[in-house]
Structure 1
Amino acid sequence: MDQQAHSLDNPIWTALVTEQAHLGTGAQLARRYHPDVAPFAAMVSDNLPEAWAALAQLLAPSEQVALLSCDPLIPPARLRAQPVGVIHQMVATRRDARVADSADNADIVVLGAADAAQMQDLAAKTKPGPFCPRTHEMGHYIGVRWQSRLIAMAGERMHPAGHVEISAVCVDAEWRGKGLAQRLVENLEARIWRRGESPFLHVLGQNAGAIALYERLGFRLRQRFHLTMVGRAPSDADLN
């Protein structure tokens, strides 16, 4: 496995110490995205007690963050873990930078801060994964509108050096089955390849429909991770 591929073994950490350091906080042992950007956090190693202590310092009393790990997490007593499921990390295998500005993509628009409310509304309805008020700042987001209403979107989320995660792929229920998700993913893929980087994505293991779509688009399984929500355990003071 080459050096770049290793950055995907701990993608949240790698992103937060490289391309997206400005979107997070923390230090040498534990880092997290700002809460209004994304709920993800990571440690340099989940085998170090001092890394767990550093992570605890980044959490508000009632807050949880999401971590990816190869094995189930067993936090120290001061923290509690809530398993969510198994995540499939998939990498693109078809290096194709074409998908240009064809007539088929004329309806695809670039999304930004002015569209944040509509993006959050669509994510709330379709539940593609966490989408916070500033998630759109993590990368390039695109979408499709119908009569001024945002009906589909996708974008770039984690950015570990050399790789870019495609995320928030979602389509309004009334518009599914028309190939919108595929066109958005292919558009993002082409853009990422043209920048000299490699596309990848994460999808819940039980989401068979999404996995089948990504496999048709040339993505293959690279790694499975445990997705776990971690927060502070309630103290005696919290219970009084």
Structure 2
Amino acid sequence: MIDVLADPINAALDGPHIRFREASGRIRRYHPDVSVFYGHPRELTDEDYGHVAALAGPAKIAVLRDRATALPTGWTVVETFGLVQYEGSAIESAPDPATVPLTPADVPEMTALVERTKPGPFLPRTIELGTYLGIRDAGGSLVAMAGERMRPTGYTEISAVCTAPEARGQGLASRLIRAIAHGIRDRGETPFLHTSSDNPAQNLYKTMGFTLTRSVPLEIVRIP
């Protein structure tokens, strides 16, 4: 069997998320209003880099995962992250009556929460990738959320897990993760997630039963 989690971006963009795909040669990317990720071979040729540039545009950035060949002359690495992947077949999942489905009308409030908490990129159309659930406080403000992002065949990524500072310490993140995982399993799929290597939330994921599968570099590169 092919380990689709070894290359989840290409697996999603050539599979269940093909409708969100833009492609040039062997390079794929999500529509830029949907997600920042590019799908590409580990060993990129000069021709492949040309296709990356064609999709991104001059003086723009591209997000490359686990690149194994040198960048072309004039390309620069803006920032590098350690991208850590966890598989969630062993976690407990359950619906949560306190969670509410989030819709495109909620995107401004979701974006504001993401800007406060920095869980990772959340773009205007990210919500189209799957189910998003939130928890609101007594005043109706959105204080926590989580949702679905990449969807390689047989799996769905849990993403945008975040809690407002004033609502932390109440277990909201773990409740949302279990609720999102419940919906994923209802479709016969397995949850997984990504985080950065310096994110202390890894302790929560391990406690919940997520299993570390791999850690790879994720680079933001600028095209000349």
TM class, shorter-length:
over 0.9
Instruction: Return 139-148 or 167-176, whichever deviates more.
Output: 139-148
Contact 1:109 1:144 in 2 (8 A): yes
**CA RMSD of the aligned region, Å?**
1.6
CA deviation profile, 1:100-144 (whole Å, cap 9, x unmatched): 4xxxx2220001111111110100000000011111111110000
Matched, 1:17 2:14: yes
Aligned to 1:85: 81
Aligned residue for 1:228, secondary structure, equals strand
Distance apart, 1:95 and its partner CA: 5.8
Aligned residue for 1:74, secondary structure, equals coil
Which amino acid in the other structure matches residue 94 of structure 1?
A
Which amino acid in the other structure matches residue 107 of structure 1?
A
Q: Give the % identical residues.
A: 36
Aligned to 1:153: 145
Distance 1:231 1:21 in 2: 25
Aligned residue for 1:226, secondary structure, equals strand
Contact 1:70 1:224 in 2 (8 A): no
CA deviation profile, 1:42-66 (whole Å, cap 9, x unmatched): 2134333222111111012232122
Task: Count residues in correspondence.
Answer: 223
1:107-126 to structure 2, matched below 5 A, reads 107-126=98-117
Matched, 1:166 2:163: no
Aligned residue for 1:51, secondary structure, equals helix
Distance 2:25 2:55 in 1: 13
Which amino acid in the other structure matches residue 28 of structure 2?
R
Runs of at least 5 residues in structure 2 that lack an aligned partner in the other structure? none
CA deviation profile, 1:80-100 (whole Å, cap 9, x unmatched): 223422111110131655x14
Distance 1:194 1:95 in 2: 14
Contact 1:36 1:133 in 2 (8 A): yes
Aligned residue for 1:8, secondary structure, equals helix
Question: Structure 2 residue aligned with 1:69, among 66, 69, 87?
Answer: 66
Contact 1:24 1:34 in 2 (8 A): yes
Distance apart, 1:32 and its partner CA: 0.8
Distance 2:70 2:37 in 1: 17
Aligned residue for 1:227, secondary structure, equals strand
TM norm structure 2: 0.93
Aligned residue for 1:22, secondary structure, equals helix
Distance 1:63 1:179 in 2: 39
Runs of at least 5 residues in structure 1 that lack an aligned partner in the other structure? 234-240
Which amino acid in the other structure matches residue 223 of structure 1?
R
Distance 1:219 1:25 in 2: 31
Distance apart, 1:164 and its partner CA: 0.6
Distance 1:52 1:219 in 2: 35
